[in-house]
Chains A and B, each alone.
Chain A
Amino acid sequence: EPEVTQTPSHQVTQMGQEVILRCVPISNHLYFYWYRQILGQKVEFLVSFYNNEISEKSEIFDDQFSVERPDGSNFTLKIRSTKLEDSAMYFCASSLRGQQPQHFGDGTRLSIL
């Protein structure tokens, strides 16, 4: 069964450094998402992306965050200058169409030191 893949599985970064989290969505899907889950808390929406542009973003997704689909397969989340509170699991998801179920990757655990 097709799946969403994310790399790396764990990223440790010094505060203030830039980090790029990578995702390969399911190949025929058209809608892409990033969510985060702080340890012990619920999954929170960050951003959705369709037709090569952001379609919606949350309050969490400030100027330090950006997303890109550099080629036909990858979907990336960049945090420009990481803060301690950015430590969380980051999940990528994709869906065939907006109304259809979103399928999640196994996440990247981001630890900011």
Chain B
Amino acid sequence: GQQLNQSPQSMFIQEGEDVSMNCTSSSIFNTWLWYKQDPGEGPVLLIALYKAGELTSNGRLTAQFGITRKDSFLNISASIPSDVGIYFCAGQLSGGSNYKLTFGKGTLLTVNP
């Protein structure tokens, strides 16, 4: 099946720093999504990307859909303590009745105040 490689596995940064994480795949996706998961909660949607090359922002978050449709990155600018959590990329190859999400293994972000 399709596999997503997400990196880095974990990051430890100082408050105020920018951070970048990315996902790559051996096969294409039609949609890339980025979710954040806090302990004991479900994934919360941050950004959805639908077109190759698309660059989308949501506050301090910026994500891009790679031109080859096989990768995506997420940037967080000026990090704050509440950015702590696990960030997951997810790819969707939609077609027919196939809308399942394939998730990466996540990036654990720790922000030191």
In the complex, how many residues of chain B place their beta carbon closer than 8 angstroms to a beta carbon of chain A? 25
Residues facing B in A66-80 (CB within 8 A) are none
Q: Is the CB of B42 within 8 A of A48?
A: no
A103 in contact (CB, < 8 A): yes
Q: Is the CB of A42 within 8 A of B42?
A: no
Shortest Cβ gap from B17 to chain A (Å): 26
Among B88, B100, B102, B106, which residue has its beta carbon within 8 angstroms of that of A56? B100
Q: Is the CB of A106 within 8 A of B41?
A: yes
Can you show 11 pairs from A to B with CB atoms below 8 A apart?
A: A41-B105, A42-B106, A43-B43, A43-B88, A43-B90, A50-B97, A98-B94, A99-B92, A101-B48, A104-B35, A107-B42
Q: List residues of chain B with CB under 8 Å of any chain A CB.
A: 30-31, 33, 35, 40-45, 48, 88, 90, 92, 94, 97-106
